[in-house]
Every structure is written in C-alpha cells, then in structure tokens.
A = this chain, B = another copy of it.
C-alpha cells in the first residue's frame, strides 16, 4: 500500500462507459446508458441520442431547466433510482467555477456526473515533529463511507452558500468550532478528481483549508455525522494514509496534500511526482 494507491482510488473513470450530458453543446456531466434509457421517457426535458444526453433546448433559462429537471428527479426518486434526497441544490455547469446553467438536487449529482464541490479542513496543533492532527470517524449511519476516517471538518458546498459560509456552517455543525476559531482557517489550495463510486461518479473539487487550533480546543460533533474525534501524532496519520484505506477516499487526498505542503511527505517518497500531480487529476 502506498500514497499512490490513495490517488488511484480517485481516478477510476472511463469516459467510454458514459454518455456526455450536455446543455447547448456544453458537456456538464456524464450518465450511464442505463440512466439515459430512463431519461428518454421524459422527452420534454431530456433528448437522448446515441452519443449524448441533451437538455431540451426549449428550456432556456436556469430557472426553467431547474424546475423541469426537478420534476424528473422526483419521478426517479419514486422509481428508487435517486436515493437519499437531501433537499440541497447543487450547481451544474461545464466548469466548476462557471455560472450554473441549472441547479439539481444533491442526491442526483453522482448519477448525472455533474461537478460537486466542498470544503475540507485540516485541523492540527503543534508544529514539526510535534504536530498532531484532529481526525474524525464518520458515523456508521452516514450514507457515504460510514465508519471511515475524515477531516475534523468537511462538507459539500450547495448552490446557496459561498465557500466561506460553507466552512463556517460545517465548522459549527461538525466540530463545534466557533466562528472566531474558524476565522483562523487559511485557504491552502484545491484538489480535484473524478472517480466511480457505488452511487455514481464523484467529479469533485475540494477547497482545502488548514487551521492551527489552540492546544486546549477539543472538537465535539453536534449533527450526528461524526462518532468520535482523535488527536493523532502526524506520524500515525501518515502511516494510516499510506498503509490503509481507513480514510474516506477523498479525505485521504486532502491529508496527503497536507503532508506534502508541510514537508512530511517529500521527494524521498517513491512516486512523489505522480502523487503531487494526482492531487489535481481532473
């Protein structure tokens, strides 16, 4: 097992197995042929060709598209195709930073292979060899990656929150980090990947933050998403990421990026260059 194995867990995507999902010729996602066959039944919303799935061109405005697609998604939810409805809208566009062409329910994002984004926060205390990192264990009733290890704070960014609002909201909910302490968070970059998971495609950009926490700060979870927090020596974090897949697939990449930026994983590591590049794979 190696850091590169963690990268490879986030690169399982073969576009030949999908049909591009397009709005006005812009590719905004990827759907399976099975989903395309179901979408063909909603011909006023989705135009399904041999080589692509297109949003009906009569749907001109983002609001009209959002309403029409929502109707289809609710039907697919009835059919058991969309599961775990969240009542959170995610933007859909050809680039994760572009203005949204429509908004769709979060639970449908992996099915349509549209971009997702989120914030992930590395919470640590101490420096150098004395550094320790706060690690959360995801609750066993989480729909995604139950029981896996996670950052102290991480969460998806919906269409109605900015990156910074998402950071503040998740810091409070997941770890009882006050806005005053959350303000210590420093943006440090972004990682990206596209990978097949059981629920569909994860085609994500994660905005990453470091926060050096006070020594006496102890996180506590208030939304039931994290069952336990651990304060681990950085060496234990490093060995866990290198030698196991205990961290959730994308959280492992956030940890590796942290270890690289802080010099704990460096050019003496086999595959170093491929790991560095692999953090920005998509």
Which residues of A come within 8 Å of B, CB atoms? Answer: 95-97, 163, 186-190, 192, 205, 207, 260-263, 266-267, 270-274, 276-277, 279-280
Contact = CB atoms under 8 A, between A and B. Distances in A.
A207 B261 contact: no
Contact of A272 (B190, B273, B276): B190
Contacts of A274: 97
Q: Of residues A186, A187, A263, A274, which shows the largest number of chain B Cβ atoms within 10 Å of its Cβ?
A: A187
Q: Which of A163, A189, A276 has the most CB of B within 10 A?
A: A189
Q: Is the interface of A mostly helix, strand, loop or mixed?
A: mixed
Nearest first, the 5 closest Cβ-Cβ pairs linking A and B are A187-B266, A186-B263, A280-B280, A277-B280, A187-B263
A267 B163 contact: yes
11 contacts: A95-B273, A97-B272, A186-B262, A187-B260, A188-B261, A189-B260, A190-B276, A192-B277, A276-B280, A279-B280, A280-B280
A208 to B, nearest CB: 10
A273 B188 contact: no
B190 A267 contact: yes
Number of copies: 2
A187 B261 CA distance: 7
Nearest to A207: B267
A260 B280 CA distance: 14
A163 B186 CA distance: 29
A277 B193 CA distance: 11
A279 B277 CA distance: 9
Contact of A261 (B95, B189, B266): B189
A65 to B, nearest CB: 23
Given A273-B205, A276-B280, A280-B280, A188 B97 contact: no
Contacts of A277: 192, 280
Contacts of A262: 186, 188
Given A186-B262, A186-B263, A205-B273, 12 more contacts: A96-B273, A97-B270, A97-B271, A97-B272, A187-B267, A188-B260, A189-B261, A190-B267, A190-B272, A192-B273, A207-B267, A280-B280
Nearest to A163: B267
Nearest to A164: B267
Contacts of A280: 276-277, 279-280
Nearest to A119: B267
B188 A263 contact: yes
A190 B278 CA distance: 12
